[in-house]
Structure 1
Amino acid sequence: MDVTQWAIDLKLAPVDQHGLEDLVRIGNTPQKLVPRARIALRSDGTRLNGAIAQDVGVSLPTVHRWQHRVQDQGVDGLLRDKTRPSRIQPVAPDVVERVVEMTLNEPPRRGDALEQSHHGGGQRGERERASGQWPSGRHPCPSACRHPL
């Protein structure tokens, strides 16, 4: 039997072992933490990693990931997920500077899309404003809007 298949002996301190046992036993532990704690508890060097994976109900790479996390960061490493970069790319500083500059220095142009949508804009808005009839039966602006039509 290949020695690399045996679980890493994490040599947990008694206080850490009791803490992990409590996490598994208590009913209100977040469910993503329970398998992590069970992996750490079973990684005592006496079991095969495959047996731990099967017993806990996770994949073998998952067993390896959490064993290495405990080795590197201790038991506290089980309690938090690894930080990942945001999906949303940050806005380039030159773009931020340009937008701020435009906001501070350029007045809005008459007929902008925002102004048209806010005031009903376009020919349809002129007809409706003249007739006093709105398609929804009410004014298009929120009630807090106090501009004259």
Structure 2
Amino acid sequence: MTRPPASTPWRLAVARWLGIYPTITTLLLILGPSLLGHYPTPLIALLLTALLVPLTHYVVFPLIERLSGGWVRFPSLHGAAHHRVALLVWAVTYPLITAVLLLVLPILAGRVPIPVLTLVVTLIAVPIQSLLILPRLMPRAMPWILAQRRPA
């Protein structure tokens, strides 16, 4: 049985946001008091994206796909290719989130609750990542993503 093709970029962006927003909000509600105001923004973004990307890539997105009843299908890769995509997504996510946080935190930090802060950040970052960066980067990265290990 073959798997249907991945969903449209817009559906993927919506599904990614539906997974990322509650996940990052939960992470910040748990870790935020220990991090925010205590460490530089790039270090906070590094820690949060290092937790967020694997959590969403391996747990949350597959759950969303199952719960959507076929409305969304994430691109399907297995083994090393699946892990390389996660690494590539993190390599895009970390600098993007760092940049968005550097812009947004001075305006909103301490003025709005964490769920509002993460709402603003994810409404900026997820569409940029899902609709602009990843569609241009993934085709170029496919030779590396699909590369097989050569026997020693």
State TM-score, norm by structure 2: 0.25
**Structure in which a larger fraction of residues adopt helix:** 2
Greater RCO, 1 or 2 (C-alpha within 8 Å, sep 6+):
2
